Amino acid sequence: MKRIFLLTVLTLMLKFSWAQSQDDLQLAYSYYNAQEYEKASYLFENVFNRTKSKTYFIYFVNCLVNTENYEKAEKAVKKQVSSSKNDLTYKILLGYVYRRQNHIDKASEQYEEVISQIKADKNQIIQCTNMFSSLGEAEWAEKTLLKGRDLTGEKFSIELFSVYAASRNQRKMVETGLDLLEDNTLDVSNVQGMFQYYVNNDINNEFYDILRFGILQRIQKTPSTPMSELLIWLFMQKKNFKSAFIQAKALDKRLGEQGQRLIILGDEALNAKDFETASECYNYVIDKGKENSYYRRAVYGVLTSMYERVVGGMITDSAEIFSLEKRYIQTFEEFGLNNQNINEVKNFSYLETYYLNSPDKAKSWVEKTLNVPSLNYSQKAQLTLTLGNIELFSGDIWGAVMRFAKVENDNKQNEYGDEAKFNKARIAYYTGNFKWAASQLDVLKAATSKLVANDAMELSLLIADNSDSSAVLEIYARGDMYFSQNQFQKAENSLDSIINGFPTSGLVDESYFLKAKISERKHDWQKAAEYYKKVADDYSFDVLADKAAYKFAEISSVRLSDKEKAKEYYMKILTDYPGSVFATESREKYRELDKR
């Protein structure tokens, strides 16, 4: 019984001691983070005395040197050096105390002694390296690892990479990282991961240039697949797809591949709107012949690249657009209509409807595709939505509503149902049924599709902000519908009647913005820029101002070759609208223009 009582008392004492240590430790960290080092030092000392943990001792010493209590710090560390003769990290800590007193010679002497006493023990080497690194002594951390390399034959490349990264020694960091790849210590994806942060945060391309030069040197000396793959990856990070294409093509030929890496590169270039390089990638694969397993994928890629150039206003010549139409039809005849080319059919129908003014032809092709037996529910939904949009373009409002209602009914709680519901709400808005449209849009603000949710929010705000002037909103909605049907003159007539007849209306800036979009669709870039600038300058207080400023900067840069104007308005977004969704892109594009 007495023994049980003693064990119980001992257990309770240990629990109390542990709880007290935890409380002291939490308070110590709080003081330390608040730079109240005197209060923190007392608590860390107590916790260390109870636990004998080196971590808390280091915090204790740091508190002492931060309060310039060097005498106590030196005495405490020397005591640990004396009692832990085999632990060299305490000697490193003593050198650190000397350095904080600007006793550089004494610190160096202490560090040299540590280096001389290091043994062929990997754990000891890593511990000393970590201690040097944690105290900001990168040079001595490097010396420790190099000494360890001599003693053990281990390269310690990963540890050296971390040391060079911490000290921002980019050249040595690159060489060490490339050593890891060349020695097959790490594969390409791991080395990419090590370099990723530094490439992403490389504002002046300094790191990019060092890494590119380092890789090229090694390839010239000894060509290797991993090194070439790393170079392709690097070019892609900086959206230098042209250079990536040259390397990928050379690697594909050297390895006798089928073009898969060119397809991947083409897709990346396409997403980045480098349509020229994307087409080069796809055409390279097409030239391998129809028997190639990526042939069909490459053909679709070329079509998409050309289509995006038409939609983006880079191809405006009617002969080129008709040529693209012909290529689409030839492709459908070659491969047939099937569940693998739904996106191509959708793009083709958009081209026919909005650029060739042939909605009936577009509708015919979509209906043919809907009869393909192997379509799944999502593909049928996409094609039915496309038919609804074609009918809306043609003025068949009732037909469009019926199409959208079917998709909504067949696709409850998914993105296609949400899109159909939004399209029905949009038609209600076009036709002046604002109350019903607003009720539907309120539901769609929580849609699973972020795009639909954002569109619903935007249209809902437009209706809510102008609910007190429904007559003007009806005119604007009608103009908006005409725009969606490519009836540009009718759309502009509606918008001009608002601008001239209701100059104090809240829809005037919206009208100028829509006129800018019409000018873009007509490829009148000068006029589009003029309208966007007016919204950005004269209506800087309104919701469209940042978007208008961004669009003006884009047109100035890409279409009008006015770099200075573009920079001015990218900067306007950063200074006047720092919380804008366009702020990040504006910052990147400002930097790009500033380098040229």
In degrees to the nearest 10, what's the CA dihedral of 76, 79, 84, 85? Answer: 120
Please state the rounded mean pLDDT for residues 461-486. 94
pLDDT at res. 467: 87
Residue 44 pLDDT > 90: no
Alpha-carbon gap, residue 362 to 122, rounded angstroms: 70
pLDDT digits (tens, 9 = 90+) for 307-342: 999 998 899 899 999 999 999 999 999 999 999 999
Name the band, by pLDDT with cuts 50, 70 and 90, for residue 25: confident
pLDDT at res. 86: 87
pLDDT digits (tens, 9 = 90+) for 146-198: 999 999 999 999 999 999 999 899 999 999 999 999 998 889 999 999 999 99
Alpha-carbon gap, residue 11 to 8, rounded angstroms: 5
Residue 519 pLDDT > 80: yes
pLDDT at res. 205: 85
User: Pick from 206, 157, 153: which is nearest to 178 by CA?
Assistant: 157
Residue 30 pLDDT > 60: yes
pLDDT at res. 21: 53
pLDDT at res. 8: 46
Alpha helices in 118-224 (DSSP H): 122-134, 138-152, 157-166, 170-182, 188-200, 206-221
pLDDT digits (tens, 9 = 90+) for 359-411: 999 999 999 999 999 999 999 999 999 999 999 999 999 999 999 999 999 99
Name the band, by pLDDT with cuts 50, 70 and 90, for residue 39: confident
> Beta-strand (E) ranges in 359-420?
none
Alpha-carbon gap, residue 407 to 429, rounded angstroms: 19
What are 104's two structure tokens?
Answer: 């550089």
Alpha-carbon gap, residue 83 to 486, rounded angstroms: 86
Residue 12 pLDDT > 80: no
pLDDT digits (tens, 9 = 90+) for 91-108: 999 999 999 999 999 999
Please state the rounded mean pLDDT for residues 411-426. 94
pLDDT at res. 468: 87
In percent, the amount of the chain with pLDDT more than 90 equals 80
Residue 5 pLDDT > 50: no
203-212, 236-245, 510-519, 528-537 — which is least confidently predicted?
203-212
pLDDT digits (tens, 9 = 90+) for 197-238: 999 988 788 999 999 999 999 999 988 999 999 999 999 999
In percent, the amount of the chain with pLDDT more than 70 equals 96
pLDDT at res. 311: 93
Alpha-carbon gap, residue 121 to 52, rounded angstroms: 24
Alpha-carbon gap, residue 333 to 311, rounded angstroms: 24
User: What's the chain's average pLDDT?
Assistant: 92
pLDDT at res. 357: 94
pLDDT at res. 528: 97
Residue 27 pLDDT > 90: no
175-179, 445-449, 539-543 — which is least confidently predicted?
445-449
pLDDT at res. 404: 97
pLDDT digits (tens, 9 = 90+) for 554-585: 999 999 999 999 999 999 999 999 999 999 99
DSSP state of 223: -
- Which residue's structure tokens are 């594909």? 252
- Which residue's structure tokens are 């037996």? 373
Please state the rounded mean pLDDT for residues 44-54. 87
Instruction: Report phi then psi at 313, rounded to 5.
Output: 80, 15
Residue 6 pLDDT > 50: no
Query: The CATH number of 523-596 is which of 1.10.287, 1.10.3470, 1.10.20, 1.25.40?
Result: 1.25.40
- Domain segments of the chain: what residues? 523-596
Alpha-carbon gap, residue 480 to 130, rounded angstroms: 64
Name the band, by pLDDT with cuts 50, 70 and 90, for residue 22: low
Residue 124 pLDDT > 60: yes
Name the band, by pLDDT with cuts 50, 70 and 90, for residue 18: very low
pLDDT at res. 596: 64
What are 374's two structure tokens?
Answer: 């192997």
